[in-house]
Amino acid sequence: MPPIQYLFVENLGKELSATEIRKPFDVAFGVVSGKKVQVKCRKDIDENQQMITEVWINIEGEIESYPSINELLKKSPNARLGSCKGEIDPAFVNES
């Protein structure tokens, strides 16, 4: 299982910080890749806690038919880290 997918699957129902979410991007796409990731949180409407709602990845460069994600990430601007920390909501997870 790829490191980013593994992080989310293994942490369903648990809290993760933006820093923790950035780490597997470095593993998967190279050392600078995690700095290109911005995590967004929002307060859960059912519970009094923060939830991870979005993961944005800054990509910049000419997109060709088979682009190198690693190269596009290297050329991209760093994202704001912020202080987002929230639950990985298991909603819509297919457990079959």
Residue 27 CA to residue 70 CA, distance in Å, equals 11
State the average pLDDT over residues 80-88. 88
Give the predicted TM-score (pTM) of the model. 0.82
8 band by pLDDT with thresholds 50, 70 and 90: very high
Residue 54's H or E segment, with its range, is: strand 50-57
Residue 94: the pLDDT is 52
Residue 52 CA to residue 32 CA, distance in Å, equals 22
State the average pLDDT over residues 72-83. 89
93 band by pLDDT with thresholds 50, 70 and 90: low
**pLDDT tens figures, 9-41:** 999 999 999 999 999 999 999 989 999 999 999
